[in-house]
Amino acid sequence: MFQNVEYYPGDPILGLIEKYNEDPNPKKVNLGVGVYYDNEGHLPILDCVKKVEKELAEKNLPHNYLPIDGLTGYRQACQNLLFGPNHEAVQSGRIATTASLGGSGALRIGAEFIHHWFPDAKVFVSNPTWANHIGIFESAGCEVNKYPYYDSNTNGIKIAELKNFLSNLEAGNIVLLHPCCHNPTGIDPTVQQWDDILAIIKQQGLIPFMDFAYQGLGENLDQDAYAIRKAVDLGLSFFVSNSFSKNMSLYGERVGALSVICPTTEEAKLVQSQLKLIIRRFYSSPPGHGNYIVDKTLNDPILFKQWEKEVYEIRDRIRAMRIHLHDVLQEKLPDRDFTYLSAQRGMFSFTGLSSEQVARLQCEYSIYIVENGRMCVAGLNSRNIDYVAQAMAEVLK
């Protein structure tokens, strides 16, 4: 009956976890999936989250269904965090926001909405991008193409090519952007480059879809939202997916949101209603635990401050690992330039390692990084970093 079902060989990122788990080598290091581990190699539960969870456990809340689009306090907290609490767009109610199953769920709901209401819109993603972007939009029926982005010669952005490309796109197409901590390259546009990119997007009548999975891990919570807030100020209508997987360490709780910035409050109501229809048919309503945690944490000024501090500790530890890895490699291989390691932002470093070198790291050293050379710097710690640097130096020799 199922003999014609095609075998799915596994995801290039999540598939690595399975391989890593099966590896008996005690020295093994998991630098594949974008997950933050602390210096002890543990997945942290943030202190602010522990407090809220304790409070929730004491209350013994019943497990009722949530509203289709999530808790009101959760949705408001997301809007304030993304757009700034006093922003006109938030106050006037012209942003439709729904809770989602992580950032992935937000992307999928957005993709479904776009395919249904803008069936001719093509989606343009950066070359390269998080591989699942392509899969998510294609599975909703959207045509996906790439725009020029990463320049491996300069380890920067092909900004002239990118601007030229966008200037030639037809109105109504979707441009998927990473507001900070670009995945997989770690290379973000400067403020000036964002201004230029968004001006072209506005002039061409293009629709941004900002996938914001790493707020707070680049510069800080506000600066990382620069492109989003600038797009609102320019009067653009667009989509934002956000996630609390990384910046609240809530990976398995699947907590994210989709926001659609609309020209008017009336349109936001229409969009909100359609997002609810999509969700009702996908999974009906979201799980509660993550919604409660984020609602309580972000809407309480003291807990918010504590969360902010903890996000910056995550950001700073990742930065320290980058610098350490840079310094050791630079010393071991002085003829090569490793500046990119300290210059890139967020969880990932695009190492430039070939797929053969990546395979060697895995086979000979049990070090797992993604085949395209992307390394999750957030998996490094003071015990494994010198081992990783040594192995990298060996395969790069």
Q: What share of the chain is helix, strand, coil (3-state, %, to 5)?
A: 50, 15, 40
Are 171 and 204 in contact, with CB atoms under 8 Å apart?
Answer: yes
Distance CA 254, CA 312 (A): 22
Distance CA 286, CA 279 (A): 9
Distance CA 14, CA 34 (A): 9
Both tokens of residue 368? 């797992």
246 is catalytic: yes
Binding of residue 307 to ligand KET (CB under 6 A): no
Segment contacting ligand KET by CB under 6 A, of 99-107, 162-170, 192-200, 293-301? 99-107
Scan residues 138-197 and list those touching ligand KET (CB under 6 A). 178, 183
List 102, 186, 208, 286, residue binding ligand KET (CB under 6 A): 102
Segment contacting ligand KET by CB under 6 A, of 72-80, 96-104, 139-147, 358-366? 96-104
Binding of residue 248 to ligand KET (CB under 6 A): no
Distance CA 308, CA 315 (A): 11
β-pair type (238-243, 207-212): parallel
Q: Which of 158, 194, 224, 246 is catalytic?
A: 246
List 97, 98, 126, 243, residue binding ligand KET (CB under 6 A): 243
196 is catalytic: no
Binding of residue 224 to ligand KET (CB under 6 A): no
List 37, 74, 113, 130, residue binding ligand KET (CB under 6 A): 130
Distance CA 105, CA 98 (A): 11
Give the three-class secondary structure for 151.
Answer: strand
Distance CA 330, CA 335 (A): 8
Binding of residue 256 to ligand KET (CB under 6 A): yes
Q: Which of 130, 194, 224, 307 is catalytic?
A: 130
Binding of residue 346 to ligand KET (CB under 6 A): no
Both tokens of residue 370? 């993604």
Binding of residue 208 to ligand KET (CB under 6 A): no
CB of 116 to ligand KET, least distance (A): 21
CB of 102 to ligand KET, least distance (A): 3
Binding of residue 211 to ligand KET (CB under 6 A): yes
Are 31 and 361 in contact, with CB atoms under 8 Å apart?
Answer: no
For 87, 96, 156, 225, the CA distances from 91, given in Å and listed in that order, are 6, 12, 37, 18
Binding of residue 36 to ligand KET (CB under 6 A): no
Q: Which of 188, 211, 224, 295 is catalytic?
A: 211
DSSP designation for 358: H
CB of 100 to ligand KET, least distance (A): 8
**Residues taking part in catalysis:** 130, 211, 246
Q: Which residues bind ligand KET (CB under 6 A)?
A: 13, 33-34, 102-104, 130, 132, 178, 183, 211, 213, 243, 245, 251, 256
